[in-house]
Amino acid sequence: MKPASAVLVVLYVLLPGALFGGQLPDRARTETLATRAAERLQALHDEADRLATEERTLLRDLRQLELSRQIRTEELRQSDAEARKAAAELAAVDAEIQRLQKEEQLEGPELRARLTELYKLGQGRYLRMMLSISDTRRLGAAARMVAALARRDHDRVAASQRRRDSLAASRTQLSERAVRLAATRADAARARVAADRAVEDRNAIIKGIDRQRDLNAQLAGELIGAQQSLQARLKEIGGGATDAEPAVLPLRAFRNDLDWPVPGSVRQRFGAAAGSRRGLSNGIEIAAAEGAPALAIHGGTVAFAGTFTGYGNLVILDHGAQAFSLYGNLLDIAVARGTRVERGQPVGSVGLALTGSAGLYFELRVDGKAVDPLQWLKKR
């Protein structure tokens, strides 16, 4: 509460008179709500600034990640091209090896037969063959022919062996290269997948921040409207009006900032098996000491106060705009139906849960649907 407002309240307390006696509670309450609205609106503004800064940082990161993804894509493309080139070269070498093998299969028998005959000639038979030729010219021609045949066959065998050795060495090198390229491509593919995932994660975070900023703007708009109503209410009170509707603040504007109804640990979470209540739990169960006060999380009107099957003693507060809070398993009830309850006011005391242990069942409904209270209560 602002200092000037606090002084004004004190003056109203000290001044006698039925008029002030009737106006003071409403004015003090309205000023308290106005202060709370202003504080929450400032918190929303601060949150909006933080989200905007965070989004700018994420957008810078996203641009860097997009560049990294482009690099990884190019690396993968180059790896694919190198792998295809190596595979083509290896296939060409295999084809050449197969061609040589076919040539050897076709020419091998003739070559082996000729070499066998030359071997059989030996030095003695070769000499006798030379001596059996009387014509000197024929003798020289025969010698040159035998030498040429032997040299050709020898060269063909040597060339074929050298070609086979060269192809075998090339094939070994290409196979090793293919293995290295496959490993490089796998690394590039993993890097590309990681880059894609990082981009998707950043985009998802940015979308989430955008949703938060939209919600933040909506809640701020609701609070501004509530502030205007509160100011109008204060003017009415200052003008002597006493029959106006009590001022209220929208519960939705205080998401993640609502007080806990009771201190304690969460024993059963939203959506868990509901025990004796059929289906899944629409609320949470908070372990707390028996008899501890259960406090209203937000101002509202008591819509129900009594016993309800499966919930024991139950209080339901209507916070307006289709928002309700439910307090179950109460030891006793401290409010009556139709009365106005302020934030932090006890609605009852903690009793025994359906499990037999002391605890409060708490449920929150917004727009007619059950929501997880842990997404609305203050973090702790």
Q: Per residue in 248-298, pLDDT tens?
A: 788 988 998 999 999 999 999 998 766 555 557 899 999 999 999 999 999
Helix pair 3-14, 18-131: axis angle to 10 deg: 150
pTM (2 decimals)?
0.58
Other CB atoms within 10 Å distance of the CB of residue 156: 13
Per-residue burial over 238-266, b if 16 or more Cβ lie within 10 Å, else e, is: eeeeeeeeebbbbbbbbeebbebbbebeb
> Does residue 16 carry a pLDDT above 50?
no
Could you state, in order of their start, the residue ranges of all structural domains in the chain? 1-105+168-249, 257-375
Of 230-239, 271-280, 350-359, the least confident: 271-280
Q: How far apart are CA 56 and CA 63, in angstroms?
A: 11
pLDDT at 217 over 70: yes
- Write the CA distances from 174 to 77, 82, 93, integer angstroms: 20, 11, 9
Instruction: Give the pLDDT confidence score for residue 2 in this predicted structure.
Output: 37
Check residues 277 and 167 and name the one with the higher pLDDT: 167
Mean confidence (pLDDT) of the chain: 79
Give the lowest-confidence range in 4-13, 326-335, 369-378: 4-13
Q: 14 pLDDT band (50/70/90 cuts)?
A: very low
User: Is the confidence at residue 338, as pLDDT, over 90?
Assistant: yes
Q: Do the first three CATH levels of 1-105+168-249 and 257-375 match, i.e. the same topology?
A: no
What CATH architecture applies to the domain 1-105+168-249?
A: Orthogonal Bundle (1.10)
Superfamily of domain 257-375: Glucose Permease (Domain IIA) (2.70.70.10)
Q: Which of 216-220, 227-231, 269-273, 330-334 has the highest mean pLDDT?
A: 330-334
- Out of 135-149, 191-205, 301-315, the most confident range is 301-315
Task: State the sign of the Cα–Cα–Cα–Cα dihedral 362, 365, 369, 374.
Answer: negative
Over residues 43-82, the pLDDT tens digits come to: 888 888 988 998 898 888 888 888 888 888 888 888 888 8
Range picked from 10-14, 15-19, 312-316 for highest mean pLDDT: 312-316
The H or E element containing residue 318 is strand 312-318
Q: Provide mean pLDDT across the span 301-324.
A: 93
Q: Give the separation between CA 83 and CA 162, rounded to whole angstroms.
A: 28
pLDDT at 351: 95
For 189, the token pair is: 């593919």
Residue with tokens 């059989």, as numbered in its chain: 120
Instruction: Report the range of poorest mean pLDDT among 17-31, 106-120, 156-170.
Output: 17-31
359 has a pLDDT exceeding 90:
yes
pLDDT bin (cut points 50, 70, 90) of residue 242 is: low
Q: In this prediction, what percent of the chain has a pLDDT beyond 70?
A: 77
